[in-house]
Structure 1
């Protein structure tokens, strides 16, 4: 038992954050037809309000929110927890889901000539299922229930990839499924080993019990390696990235936005929970260095590959691989109680937020480009800014954050990473950040340069301005994140544990 653990004031909000999208998903599936879309769109503002309320309560209480399910404290029961990291990820999730849902109204509207269509019903139902899975990941405190949430995410995300039903999308979805299942098996094996040596799967109890059983050190090390490898496969960190580019590039634009912005962040979030929450006493200098090396490789190699792409969506997909690499630079820099550790932690979280907003906006914009002109070939986008100025601006602003130019959120994240690298004497990571920024500038230039050309581009289908505005709003939010008050850093550090 965890002595003194009880539900905090406003802890019920954590349950609602999970239950609301679950209820919406069930109602959408049961009602079907056009009702599925209406229910999903009605649930989205409610979910956003709950996420904002949770963030406000975490800030107001200056501590994590807790809800003990059924009043049974761990290890007999389950506790939901929301710290600063959880709170901002819930808000980001609600924003991106709402934007993707609004953007999906046109491509996934039920045709007027039928009562119900397969793709629209699947999209609206799976989108809410994915939202519920993300909420459990960000709030769960039990390793097995987090495994269940990961599986829920997988079986909601994979069908979203192949909604089109073509052979290409089915192949991409199956590859995604194989990597996701491999990651799940490795994660579950590691969790089973931890349960065997500690008798619990609760994160807080594990952090207390594992240091008290030094004789279990080899088993804990193997469990940590298995779980980390499984989660890295789900995150698509290089070299376990082969599933991501075809899956994200071939999925419908609203699905690509959610997959790139949120789904890969869920497994990253759990890697952070594992190393900074479950295993704070495990000597992990070598492991942190390996993760940092993999992150550096992703930044550099994926950045070079992105430069070579000829399709807009594939370029954006490979840039996702590169930007994910920055997230893992926080591990060697934030480890331990040092003057630079908090900066590195904040950098990793801000990078996750800014990338989610920028990449969601860019994928939605890329989908509009393909719909308007019939393709997304970079060599044939000359004059895009003339015919679709808001879409071109969304791509440019999103790219601004990816490059890490001021005043964007990407700049704040990369500047903090540079500071932590210099202060810690780990100059290699500073070089990686700078080189990655140059590579990002190169592939963003390949998007912006033809878009700003003065030629006339033939448009096959007109795009409503509000649809362009959604992509632009997300990209602008990634830039405006750079103007966030200093209190955001305080919020992000609430509940943070350091190994």
Structure 2
């Protein structure tokens, strides 16, 4: 199972050019954030012009040509383990593109919402720190680096949620911080058990030496509990909707798109490397994912506020990712290959669509000045671009062709049928129907014309265009899915 996460290669030093590119990808975002804090951008163009995705594309090309790389990196007396394979490079590229889109959107949002310059200035270094922490999570191959990256990600995410400074934002942010700290405590206890039992923290070494037993099972249970809490997986999702209800749209976009998925990435990695034979546990996680799909969909359908609809939708959509556990563990190679590709395509498509949906929802709320669904009356005629973006993003979440959501769910459906795991087939079908139900409920309110008219605020057109571009990218990813899927196939990153 170590080959899935690029740990099969023998450790050796990274080539100088690759190490320079990785160092730039890790160090440039916080440095740029500090510069932007001192000299805030007044136009989205300087933000979009950052060349980090071009560097990551070069790294992806190098992986495709020469295969993945797993190597130690020495920082004085501290030896860290990093790896670069097709999956980590693709996730790094996705992270940088979404961060640039959120930063560009934030420029227009600050002006349209009339946010004081001092309050908005802190957003830039926090975005930079969040970008670096996510990059470290995709690249890290030892538990110590993963812990440091998780903590940095959590602190940046909580601080970004507190930026509005309102009482509800502070209360929700502190609740988020409390949940994150409890998750970190569970993580540290699990790491301590593994270190005490096996004397090492690198994932490749642990994968080769860990043996099944009570210590291993308890350690993985603690690690899993902490990560499920950080990822807002049902039934540990109570903190998610309140923090999004008061957060700025660019913060909600990047949080819903990437932050909660980082914990899933680590969770899947730990299970495949440390306890790859735990079929019963994998089915338990699959059951939690199924419950998340159904419960999150029902909560979104019953929600009265637009941001609550999108936030509870995240709870449901994350459940699809947990179906990877029963489809990858204890199944045939053909089933596992389909599930592997479908899982990561679902993650990427949802990240792009959810960021677009949060931005479109932010535009609607800012233009109307109200947060309830009933107050969206008349927006179908007055705000068609924002609603079109919301609808295109919803196509991916519903899993309709030709979106990435359709291709991903088709792969997961094939894997479930081939494995004979019929419950997941039913979950995929019911989840899509529930998504359609709450999406069309939102649109029903927007086409009501009898309600009193609102004074709609004019927004910069760039805010709508950035969200629309992300929604179209999620749609187009389904048509161009062969390239990332080829990279994700076993041996796809090998020469």
Structure-2-length-normalised TM-score: 0.91
Tell me by how many angstroms 1:226 deviates.
0.4
Matching residue within 255, 267, 272 for 2:263: 267
Q: How far apart, in 2, do the equivalents of 1:37 and 1:51 lie?
A: 26
The 8 Å contact of residues 134 and 153 in structure 1, kept in 2 or not, is answered as yes
Distance change in 2, residues 1:452/1:473 (3 Å) = farther
Matching residue within 60, 63, 74 for 1:55: 60
Greater shift in the superposed pair: 407-416 or 12-21: 12-21
Matching residue within 66, 73, 93 for 1:69: 73
Matching residue within 101, 104, 125 for 1:102: 104
Q: How far apart, in 2, do the equivalents of 1:437 and 1:425 lie?
A: 20
Q: How far apart, in 1, do the equivalents of 2:129 and 2:49 lie?
A: 12
Q: CA offsets, 1:197-240, max 9 Å, x none?
A: 221111111111114xx5xx211111000001100000000000
SS of the counterpart of 2:107? coil
Distance change in 2, residues 1:141/1:444 (3 Å) = same
| Corresponding residue number in structure 2 for 1:14 | 22
| Corresponding residue number in structure 2 for 1:294 | 288
Q: CA offsets, 1:125-166, max 9 Å, x none?
A: 111111111111111111011111111011101111121111
The 8 Å contact of residues 249 and 314 in structure 1, kept in 2 or not, is answered as yes
| Corresponding residue number in structure 2 for 1:5 | 11
Tell me by how many angstroms 1:44 deviates.
6.8
The 8 Å contact of residues 232 and 315 in structure 2, kept in 1 or not, is answered as yes
Matching residue within 31, 34, 58 for 2:39: 34
Unaligned runs of 5+ in 2: 1-7
Residue 323 in structure 1 maps to residue 327 in structure 2: no
SS of the counterpart of 2:51? helix
| Corresponding residue number in structure 2 for 1:78 | 80
SS of the counterpart of 2:304? coil
Distance change in 2, residues 1:477/1:459 (3 Å) = farther
Q: How far apart, in 2, do the equivalents of 1:349 and 1:106 lie?
A: 31
Tell me by how many angstroms 1:36 deviates.
7.3
Distance change in 2, residues 1:175/1:278 (3 Å) = same
Greater shift in the superposed pair: 366-375 or 48-57: 48-57
| Corresponding residue number in structure 1 for 2:178 | 178
Q: How far apart, in 2, do the equivalents of 1:137 and 1:37 lie?
A: 31
| Corresponding residue number in structure 2 for 1:249 | 245
The 8 Å contact of residues 86 and 488 in structure 2, kept in 1 or not, is answered as yes
Tell me by how many angstroms 1:310 deviates.
1.1
Structure-1-length-normalised TM-score: 0.90
The 8 Å contact of residues 302 and 319 in structure 1, kept in 2 or not, is answered as yes
| Corresponding residue number in structure 1 for 2:297 | 303
The 8 Å contact of residues 34 and 124 in structure 2, kept in 1 or not, is answered as no
What are the within-5 Å matches in structure 2 for residues 183-222 of structure 1?
A: 183-211=183-211, 217-222=213-218
Matching residue within 412, 418, 426 for 2:413: 418
Q: How far apart, in 2, do the equivalents of 1:487 and 1:462 lie?
A: 39
Distance change in 2, residues 1:37/1:150 (3 Å) = farther
SS of the counterpart of 1:406? coil
| Corresponding residue number in structure 1 for 2:169 | 169
Matching residue within 423, 427, 438 for 1:428: 423
Q: CA offsets, 1:292-314, max 9 Å, x none?
A: 01000000011111100111110
The 8 Å contact of residues 27 and 39 in structure 1, kept in 2 or not, is answered as no
Distance change in 2, residues 1:110/1:362 (3 Å) = closer
Matching residue within 51, 56, 59 for 1:46: 51
The 8 Å contact of residues 245 and 317 in structure 1, kept in 2 or not, is answered as yes
Greater shift in the superposed pair: 337-346 or 302-311: 337-346
Distance change in 2, residues 1:36/1:146 (3 Å) = farther
Distance change in 2, residues 1:4/1:164 (3 Å) = closer
Figure out how many residues of one structure are paired with residues of the other and give that number: 482
Residue 473 in structure 1 maps to residue 475 in structure 2: no
What are the within-5 Å matches in structure 2 for residues 428-467 of structure 1?
A: 428-452=423-447, 458-467=454-463
SS of the counterpart of 2:333? coil
Q: How far apart, in 2, do the equivalents of 1:26 and 1:205 lie?
A: 37
Q: How far apart, in 2, do the equivalents of 1:18 and 1:205 lie?
A: 25
Unaligned runs of 5+ in 1: none
Tell me by how many angstroms 1:11 deviates.
2.8
The 8 Å contact of residues 404 and 476 in structure 2, kept in 1 or not, is answered as yes
Q: How far apart, in 1, do the equivalents of 2:217 and 2:467 lie?
A: 43
Greater shift in the superposed pair: 328-337 or 18-27: 18-27
Greater shift in the superposed pair: 190-199 or 2-11: 2-11
Tell me by how many angstroms 1:377 deviates.
1.7
Q: How far apart, in 2, do the equivalents of 1:110 and 1:132 lie?
A: 28
Distance change in 2, residues 1:5/1:44 (3 Å) = farther
SS of the counterpart of 1:70? strand
What are the within-5 Å matches in structure 2 for residues 106-185 of structure 1?
A: 106-108=108-110, 117-185=117-185
